Amino acid sequence: MAHQIRQLSLGGVLDEAIALTKEHFGALFRIVAVTMLPPLLIVSFYQFAVMPQLTFPFQQEQFVAWMEAQQKHGNIINVLSIASAVATILGNAAVVHGVSCAALGQPFTTKAALSQALKIFLPLIGTSVLGGLAVFVGTLLCIIPGIIVTLWFAFTTPIVVIEGVGGIDALKRSKTLTEGNLGSMFVCGAVVAVIQLGVVAAPHLVPQPHAAIVLGAVVQCALQIFSSAAVVMFYFSARCQHEQFDLQLLVDAVEAEIVLEADDEEKQAT
């Protein structure tokens, strides 16, 4: 079913994100299961296999052994981590496509979501790099400017995926849409972060390490779905606030009904 595409309060954004995640979890998880989950498991299992486990407080011998393993296997771990990060960007873009379709009451498939993500993959990577550099510079100036820049560019992925706008234009558009919403976005991000910290801690309670790795990766992917849903719903809310996007959807729906009625009348006449 279609969800509330209108200007929402912070509570409304979170409620819609939870509802979207619950109603479409299976379809959305299939997307992350073929993009984010495999490389995440590969990185985690490789690190577990080659890196000594540090226990806190760790002994000097443990730290020396860990540093030696890092020097020996660090390059491979870095390559695998970069591959996992790229897969995460691709998977997140596909999830954003799926979430946006679900929010608008439109059908979507794993294949269609991945196809859309691949179409905009290069512009998305470029935009992510530009946004990351801006956040890095802001963080160097001070922590608060870094947070503000991060909030400014929070909508870049939905903008690239849904609107097909990339690069500097996507960053500028994201900054425009976040005007008047920075406080709510900060609180929303804090709430999502608290939820993530609480849920991510659960796999560490599993005594069997391999099972804990698998559970941790699955939980991380599930949390990615929820956080993407929150960003997409906040993005739609901001568009309704600044551009009356909800009214445009209503006009489009009415026009579509008129076309369908005209087609029916024409068929009956013939």
Quick one: which H or E segment has residue 14? helix 10-23
Q: Is the pLDDT of residue 260 over 70?
A: no
Model pTM?
Answer: 0.82
Q: What is the pLDDT of residue 254?
A: 42
pLDDT of 57: 67
Q: DSSP string of 206-252?
A: -SSHHHHHHHHHHHHHHHHHHHHHHHHHHHHHHHHHHH-HHHHHHHH
Distance CA 190, CA 214 (A): 26
pLDDT in tens, 81-134: 899 888 989 999 999 999 998 988 888 899 999 998 999 989 999 998 898 888
Angstrom distances, CA of residue 132 to CA of 35, 126, 139, 154: 22, 10, 10, 11
